[in-house]
Structure 1
């Protein structure tokens, strides 16, 4: 019964998700299910963040492209303003004070390095060129284009006109009849035409540069930002010639990935390029990390913690409580009731009520079984007592009959019969006097039986002393009866043949050796003779009783004299020995 309830307690505790089943219990499974249920919050947050990043990256590129177009348009407007200025400076308007007037004009206008009046043969008539610069522009590209009939040009200034990178803006001058009469030219610094990177409309950290048609950097705020690894800028220049602007990416000399946007500035000779850092696919520099990631994560954690706390307070802690109650029931203590579950949810209260009812039914049934067993135990003890009394009555009747006989052989036969009946009577007395009426300890039983057999002959002849050394072994009556009758025959034979007319010492030894047990009866008589070893009734009965125990009997000479009767038989399946020292089959004294 106790083992069944211990097994039930372990199964119930495991089903409720105890500590041993931490990863298979309700708490763990509920947490996993909740984490999966709330996972879409994080997934949607990540998708939204990626969408925001993609949109802002596209906006960043569009802003950079529009900024390059706007910068190119601004620079073109300044160049157009220079053309208008030069067209207003007709040769007849300059007059004989050409150089002072042009110098004063160049000083007032920002970004103009020089303003020139060029004659039809290419010589500089007047202007503000630095000392040492060329006095003839004949053969230069821009001058030859004007000579060929082009009204205005804006090209990169040759080194003969400007020491620093600059543009030359020139318009054609004509005579009244339309003949070529030279040109008016202005040298404009490229630094002045370079876009202003402090413009708030540009992305943070933007850089600006001007290039020629080959993609070579003319001026730049940070030359390293335009030193693209493995891909010169000339590639984008070719593409920019076919459209108003061009957008591309690359890695600069510092290993930073950048976005580049460019547009033509002056014809096909000068181009403006803007560069901004590319944030990359997983960079959140331009995102709102709190709204895109942190808030969804905090919402997920808050929901997870809240549900886990609620489940702990409402479900798990009550299941733990019921598991402890079930563990108490498994130990056989059914007086405990789960009264604390009165404050639990209705489902838990129902389960607690079921456990309480189960405990009450088990208590009632155990009480009924205990009473029934006690009654049966008392009845069985009474039966054993009456059987013992009946056997004693039979022994008394045989004793009366024995006294009435004159034949010694008949008297001896009745005496032997009385001893066998007394041995059986002792079995029943031992059973109803023991704690367990179904079993008896062989050590106590053998001591009582030998004492009874020796005492029955006291006063009829010489003194016989006895010694019993027996291991304790709890056996049932089926094994006690043949063992007791075998011992009666062995002791009776010793009394008849070894101790007759002389007395002596009787030694009885019982030893349990694992799967085999040994019972010996040794006397110190004269030893074996033909009368003691043969086909007598005693020897025949001893062999019969030995077969009932699935053992065998042998008779051997003792040292220094006497006879030993041995019974070797398999150790009966029995309960634990009474004496703990005999658990491993030790000997007793």
Structure 2
């Protein structure tokens, strides 16, 4: 009974479940979620409160701007009557100003910048003023701030409306508001409790008014949003950081939709909830519980899962690289599941080593046998070549000697192929570049001995691997082409000696390859008396057909070119080459 209990207590499931149960993680999560919901609710209540405060704080500015807009609209409708009366409008507009103490000036300015009708300053030329130029260039309802008014010589808020006569722009109506009357200081009690800073701006993002306690404007603007970007939006509240990095609550309220907006800002603090409950106190307990749970879970997983798994992985990597098994150190604190996993891995690795050793032995035996076959075939072909040589020496007519010599050359080509196959290849793969380079080198050395003249050789062979079934017809085709090229080699006019070019082009891992054989032609070949029987061309076509390739020939006055395009079959990446080193 006690032994069974001990075995169970060593299991990974039992230990992790016990540690997580002690940590009381679910209770901590519930506390965090509940506190977070309270914080979110407090933020929403704060946003609603700030929207209401901002709307209330901007009520005076809203009333003044709406009054100016209404007066301007009235003057637009009365302008035809005043025009018929000769623009005698100082007295009626002056009376209108007395009834609207919020305004300091109202008048009509034509498109040339002349005050044709106004409560004062009739006939004044405003054409050089920047605001006039802006109103003419971009007609439309606007609310702008002027640090120095043209008539009142004080800072004002300008409300303008365009005047359209008979479908054409004919000027604009201006209603001015004294700037100081729109900046009302907050009550000292409100400022001390939690100051609300108010900024009004127009549709172009230009600041119109700032509450007297706002201080630096940048401190009361969001750093990640411009006033121009906020213009055009609907009523909204959000939390953002100002230019100094302090978090504040911002409320956007349209005063005149599309023209004037109010932006209120309030210092953002998550200090207390209702009934004096502290945010810090409410978050401390679940936070500590969460940290303890994380620490316990990390220790459990690190000590009983991650560390043993990393050790096992390191031994696996070492086995993969060097095929060397490392016995694990005994650790009685390891869970039963981890110990069983290590024992299973050791048995699996031992079986892999045994199977690989048997596989390598089989491959090695097959490779040795195949190379021995190529060697014996090459020896037999060399014997045939020797017999043909004896027959050639005993032949009495040149025709018989030529025929036997042609046969001898072809048998020698086949012998070279088998010789180089067992010298440059494995049982599964043949390095085509090395094979063809060795064959061409041997043939050129044979051609440059005896009575043949010297010639220039250009050769290049890319590295690519093919199956033996492709290597044999490929090498025989190249041997036949090189033999024919050497047979018909000549020196072109203007050249000092003949030339021969042999190239193998293929990309590593590609599925296509190409052989190029080119020899120079001249009026005088190396063997003028040789008469072509067409046998070489027939053999090349047969080898090309066996490889499922295609051959192209091109002949000019100075050279003869042959190109063979052949496919390269892909190799199975899981097949281990037979010349792979045996495991230690």
Q: Same-fold call, TM > 0.5?
A: no
Q: Whose Rg is larger?
A: 1
Q: TM-score, normalised by structure 1?
A: 0.43
Q: TM-score, normalised by structure 2?
A: 0.44
